[in-house]
Amino acid sequence: MKITVQPSSSIINKTGPWRANRPNFLHDKCTACGICSRICPEGIIYQTDKTNAAGKKYFACDLTYCKGCGLCAIECPFKAIEMELEEK
């Protein structure tokens, strides 16, 4: 069953300028399970064409529209996403 939703308003409204935290995707830890892309309320996490050391096509996000909510980091079962302070 697919639960992916359509991208929300942040696809129209860029969030980068006011974001306090940003996700850092640790590509070598990514197992390509896809949970982060299904949980992101903005629908901006996607699978790249690049592979990590384990041969997995790792996931990343479009920071232009990321609001820094941290849900992806909380839900990643492999601790492959860390939230860090946004540098202004």
- Interface pick for ligand SF4 out of 7, 11, 16, 34 (rule CB under 6 A): 34
CA 39 to CA 42: how far, in whole Å? 9
DSSP 69: -
Q: Are the C-beta atoms of residues 22 and 73 closer than 8 Å to each other?
A: no
Report if residue 60 touches ligand SF4, rule: CB under 6 A: no
- Interface pick for ligand SF4 out of 31, 48, 82, 86 (rule CB under 6 A): 31
* Nearest to ligand SF4 of 25, 88 (CB atom): 25
Report if residue 44 touches ligand SF4, rule: CB under 6 A: yes
Q: What end-to-end distance do the CA atoms of the chain give, in Å?
A: 40
